Copies of this chain bind each other. A is one copy, B any other.
Amino acid sequence: MAEVKTYNVAIVGATGAVGQKILQILEDKDFPIRELKLLSSKRSAGITIPFKDKTITVEEAVPDSFAGVDIALFSAGGSVSEKLAPEAVKHGAVVIDNTSAYRMDENVPLVVPEVNKSDISRHQGIIANPNCSTIQMVAALKPIKDKYGLNRVIVSTYQAVSGAGNEANNELAEQSQQHLNKEVMTASLLPVKGDKKHYPIAFNALPQIDMFQDNGYTFEEMKMINETKKIMHTPDLSVAATCVRLPFFTSHAESIYLEVEDEGLTVADLWNVLGDAEGIILEDDPQTQTYPTPLSAANKEAVFVGRVRKDLDNDKGFHMWVVSDNLMKGAALNTVQIAQALIENEKL
């Protein structure tokens, strides 16, 4: 029997929504861990967290935390990654970063393993995990692009509040109860924690995720546009996005219009390519009202696709509805899958 190589793993942001999911997935997948270090801000240090048959005490993340660490999974916000990821790399760790800090850095691979696993090999210490809404979209687009070409993408998103962290889940629950009690809803977090105004999300829809940029798009929309081109190696692909926060806890859904290069394709052609694709589950049968929803996709690993239709005016145009758990494939699972691919490729 071959010896299983094991690794020292650190999770930065271990007490957050994504950090907790990463822990669960590392345990479920029996990731080959020798030693696991749980790191957080000073505020959360000292908390104990169960992992397998042990209890691990969370430590404050400081530069020396990374001594001896092989793989550091960062999910504690962009400023923490900017400060500490280079320190982890100096200590010899490979960083897989779940924030937007390094995603568009040309020296940093931005990876969805099903889509561009080979990009991992050119890492220089940091590999970036894409934005949640981008991951599920490229997972569904890539097999179509590879077989039939892709000219254009227009996406409107339906995004869960958990993308804004555990606090946002609490805000949605509290506001929902207030509204059901016929009380005034109090808003102090969404749409964006650091922004000037806050609006209720319960029984509402907020067409703002992350801060507005000078061009009138939000940062979330620009992430989807720019990251999609980088991950699929399609700098000239037309991509447009409108990102909307909605009152559900888990999973992002996306209404995607796409134009392929080939002519004369049918819905069955797209079903075939999506049905064979890694990480995709087709749930698409109008006859039986079969389509994915945020609730049906919650806590699952796959990217679910339904409502595939041919555009009624454009022979090259198709519409589809793509749903995935934003904390699983959209964040924690993809992070762990990058780590697994790193190990497989013996790039550690």
Contact = CB atoms under 8 A, between A and B. Distances in A.
A158 B159 CA distance: 12
A255 B307 contact: no
Interface residues of A, number: 58
Nearest to A236: B313
B217 A309 contact: yes
Interface in A173-213: 173, 176-177, 180, 191, 195-197, 199-200, 203-208, 212
Contacts of A313: 152, 238-240
A207 B253 contact: yes
A275 B313 CA distance: 31
Interface in A235-288: 238-240, 242, 244, 246-249, 253, 255, 257, 267, 286-288
Given A248-B205, A307-B242, A199 B255 contact: no
Contacts of A337: none
Given A177-B180, A289-B208, A294-B205, A309 B216 contact: yes
A249 B185 CA distance: 15
Nearest to A293: B204
A55 interface: no
Given A240-B311, A311-B240, A191 B246 contact: no
A306 interface: yes
Contact of A248 (B240, B247, B288, B308): B247
A26 interface: no
A215 B297 CA distance: 25
B289 A212 contact: yes
Given A207-B321, A216-B267, A158 B225 contact: no
A67 to B, nearest CB: 43
A208 B255 contact: no
A2 interface: no
A4 interface: no
Contacts of A255: 156, 207, 242, 244, 255
A254 to B, nearest CB: 9
State the copy count for this chain. 2
A273 B76 CA distance: 45
A307 B207 contact: yes
A145 interface: no
A268 to B, nearest CB: 11
A295 interface: yes
Interface string A222-236: 000100000000000
Contacts of A215: 309, 312
Contacts of A310: 216
A25 interface: no
B289 A203 contact: no
Contact of A207 (B206, B246, B293): B293
Contact of A242 (B249, B293, B319): B319
A109 interface: no
B225 A312 contact: yes
A158, A197, A289, A321 pick with most chain B CB within 10 angstroms? A289
20 contacts: A158-B244, A203-B248, A203-B249, A203-B295, A204-B293, A207-B253, A208-B291, A212-B287, A216-B267, A216-B307, A216-B308, A216-B310, A238-B311, A238-B313, A240-B312, A240-B313, A240-B319, A242-B321, A246-B246, A247-B247
